[in-house]
Chain A
Amino acid sequence: MSETKKMLYINRNAPYGTVYALEGLEVVLIGAAFEQDVSMAFIGDGVYQILKGQDTSDSDMKNFSPTYNALGDYEVTKLYVEQESLDERGLTVDDLMPLVYEDEDDDWAEKPSIVLLSRAELAGVMAEQDVLFNF
């Protein structure tokens, strides 16, 4: 069997305007089924993907934002959000969906999946990966 690889999916595009966000999310969910060490990063306009309160009921589009809540069940529990990207857009972590996962090593306690990192810290996370995917 091949060994587990560390894979980081880097999300850099807003949802809806292009198909990158939705396609990227689907690839993450499929990839997570192969028992790899999968994490996601949201930088630039990618932070808009996890803005809370998305409602496409007046648009002819699928609201896929609830799907981010499923990531924890696929053991995708590290969602890195770049602080500088939030700051540039006038956003704080309170504007984001409160995404959580259940920690099986801690009696299934519910813990936040979102990790705020500086650009420099996130660069360090990227350097530790085996594979990087950009969407």
Chain B
Amino acid sequence: MLHTVNKSPYSSDSLKLCMAYMQSGDAVLLIEDGVYAAMKGGESEALVSGSSEKVYALGPDLKARGIASDKLIDGIEVVGFDGFVNLAAESDKVQNWL
């Protein structure tokens, strides 16, 4: 299953719940304000760095918000809109944590 999170980890419990519900083989894609969770050094970092499943972040949303690649938590893979489509197409279902 592909999970998407579009809320900042500091203003919503969406990411926290999503990570708690992740199953083996799932992946999470951070989009919109969800990409703030991809920045290292913050209090939410452990939610992402502790994940045993794959974490992706949407490149155009990182760029819009001024989050440079050297600010990303290690292990996060940046994808474009085409990568978003591929992830959704490859997954049997998508859960959007709004």
A residues in contact (CB < 8 Å) with B? 13-18, 44-45, 48, 51-59, 61, 63, 65, 88-91
Contact = CB atoms under 8 A, between A and B. Distances in A.
Contacts, number: 73
B7 A58 contact: no
Nearest to A89: B42
Interface in B23-81: 32-33, 36, 39-43, 45, 59-61, 63-68, 80
B11 A59 contact: no
A48 B45 CA distance: 16
Nearest to A53: B66
Nearest to B41: A90
Interface residue range, chain B:
20 to 34
11 contacts: A14-B36, A16-B61, A17-B32, A53-B67, A54-B64, A55-B64, A59-B64, A63-B64, A89-B42, A90-B40, A90-B43
B10 interface: yes
Given A14-B11, A44-B11, A48-B36, A59 B61 contact: yes
The secondary structure that dominates the A interface is: loop
Contacts of B65: 14-16, 48, 51, 54
B59 A58 contact: yes
B5 to A, nearest CB: 11
B4 interface: no
B79 to A, nearest CB: 12
A122 to B, nearest CB: 17
A88 B64 contact: no
Nearest to A63: B64
Contacts of A15: 65
A56 B39 contact: no
Contacts of A57: 63
List of 5 A-B pairs having minimum Cβ-Cβ separation, nearest first = A90-B41, A17-B33, A53-B66, A90-B42, A58-B60
